[in-house]
Amino acid sequence: MLVEKNADRILASFNKFYDVYMDEKKRKRFFELTRDFGFTEEDLTHLLHTQLMFAFLLNTEAFKNFLTFILKKVSPKSTLGDLLGGNEGILVKQTRDNGEAEKISKRLDINLRNSLAHFTFREEGATICCYNHSKEGNEWSLKENKIKSSDLLQKTMETSLVRAILASVIADWYGL
């Protein structure tokens, strides 16, 4: 539960910065206060993006850690893809899954998680360009996927909800 509280605290800090950034008056005032320290408006946008990416990763990794905690005989080194990977995923093999692992996988966006966690992204204004390797036949290619920061915020809120639900279920099981 301390890990969950820490995640909530980090997300609350992000939300405060997001609220300042999205309010034009507050953003201008924040910029005025930080300009003497060398911050530019572009720096503030980058800071918002990196904090948003961190919040997204925090939620997906916390979810993965909670899942490894409740599944039997699962290595903490298991990837999210190993856990949720379709009919071959650990979650499907260890439970009476009826398609939920695939639904969760889509909500968490494992490819986006991998791109952000491995720093294979770049910013293009309010858009984040993410790169993932994929294999078609014997050929590897690098695919670009673009996501607007507003869409990343939506995905972050979804992953936060999924993480919180799983943590709540675990807490109920253990009477916490």
Q: What is the DSSP string of 18-80?
A: HHHHHSHHHHHHHHHHHHTTT--HHHHHHHHHHHHHHHHHHHHHHHHHHHHHHSTT--TT--H
Q: Residue 115 class from Cβ within 10 Å (0-12 exposed, 13-18 middle, 19+ buried)?
A: buried
Residues in the chain: 176
pLDDT digits (tens, 9 = 90+) for 1-41: 777 788 888 889 989 999 998 899 999 999 899 889 998 88
SS3 at position 6: helix
Q: Across the chain, what does the average pLDDT equal? A: 84
- Stated pTM of the model: 0.81
Q: What pLDDT sits at residue 52?
A: 92
Q: What pLDDT sits at residue 165?
A: 81
Report the DSSP pairing between strands 121-124 and 139-148: unpaired
Alpha-carbon separation of residue 158 from 1, 26, 63 (angstroms): 20, 26, 12
How far apart (Å, rounded) are the C-alpha atoms in residues 61 and 47? 21
How far apart (Å, rounded) are the C-alpha atoms in residues 176 and 174? 6
Q: What pLDDT sits at residue 39?
A: 87
Q: What pLDDT sits at residue 67?
A: 80
Report, as an integer, the average pLDDT of 108-128.
89
pLDDT digits (tens, 9 = 90+) for 127-170: 999 998 877 788 888 899 999 988 999 999 888 888 888 778 77
**Residue 95: DSSP 8-state:** S
